[in-house]
Structures are given as C-alpha cells and as structure tokens.
Amino acid sequence: MRARTNSGFIVKSDSQEVNRQTLPPEIIYPFEERAPIEGEEIIYWRKNYGLSGAILEYCQENLPKADNDHYIIMTKSIILDIVDIILSFMDERVWTNMGDSMWTYTEVLPYLRQNINNLLVVMKYMSSNTDVYIEFYC
C-alpha cells in the first residue's frame, strides 16, 4: 500500500498538555517547531512511502482508527512492533528494495535511528504517564 506524501507520529494526551517542555529531553525532534498541532510530533516522514506504507498496513490490521483518520497507539507491544518494522528498513537491502523513497539509504539511516530512539523514549514516558498515547497519521 502506498502511503501519502507525509506521515508521522504525534504524542498526545486527553488530560494534560503535551509539548517539548513536558516530554523527556532525550527526544530528538525531526525539525523545528511547525504550525501548532494538538500534541507534539516526534517523527515526521516525507516521501518515505515504503516505510510509512508498511506501518500503515500494520496499523490497519491491528489498531482502531481515530475520528481524524489517525491510528491510536497506547501499548508497549504495539510500539515495539513498530520499532521492529523500522529496524527492518535499516537493512540496506530492504531499504533499497522496499524503501520507495526520495532518500538514499545513507541519508535516511540516522533518521531511522532517531525514530527508534524517540519511540522508545516515549514508550518509557508512557509507563508513568498513563494518559499519554501516540497517534500515527498517514
């Protein structure tokens, strides 16, 4: 399945403000702050069709869709499954054959590492902030 041009992950909460000041400092943000959104975007992909398509397919099979057409991620096991998908794309052969991206393997590799770090940091943060969750949009 080919994903839209842009996709990513946003950290949200229904009961508390989520922003760069309230999230752990270990998160490496993918860009300078953009237009205000609800929550805080921790991963942003542009024209990474293969990777975002693989995650979209996983989400469609395993997660409920939110009202805004996003997928809600609330559990450690789902986050770890998504980390495994990203890890699989860190194999140069997989990226070359399935990446379907404007980015070369060499260009994207540091961002994939950053993506995994951010998801794991937020996963740990969620264990002590049970009202916090992640939304995947694509």
Residue 88: partners with Cβ closer than 8 Å, 6 or more residues away: 54, 94
- The model carries a pTM of 0.92
Hey, which residues does 50 pair with through a beta bridge? none
Q: Phi and psi for 15 in degrees, rounded to 5?
A: -125, -10
What is the 3 state secondary structure string of the chain? CCCCCEEEEEEEECCCCCCCCCCCCCCCCCCCCCCCCCCEEEEEEECEHHHHHHHHHHHHHHCCECCCCCEEECCHHHHHHHHHHHHHHCCHHHHHHHCCECCCHHHHHHHHHHHHHHHHHHHHHHHHCCCEEEEEEC
CB 37 within 8 A of CB 77: no
Region 73-89: mean pLDDT is 97
* pLDDT at residue 46, rounded to an integer: 86
**Per-residue pLDDT reduced to its tens digit, 11-70:** 999 999 999 999 999 999 877 665 556 789 999 888 899 999 999 999 999 998 777 778
pLDDT band (50, 70, 90) for residue 2: low
* Residue of 35, 37, 1, 30 lying closest to 103 (CA atoms): 30
Structure tokens at 58: 């996983």
User: Is 105's pLDDT higher than 60?
Assistant: yes
Higher pLDDT, 53 or 6: 53
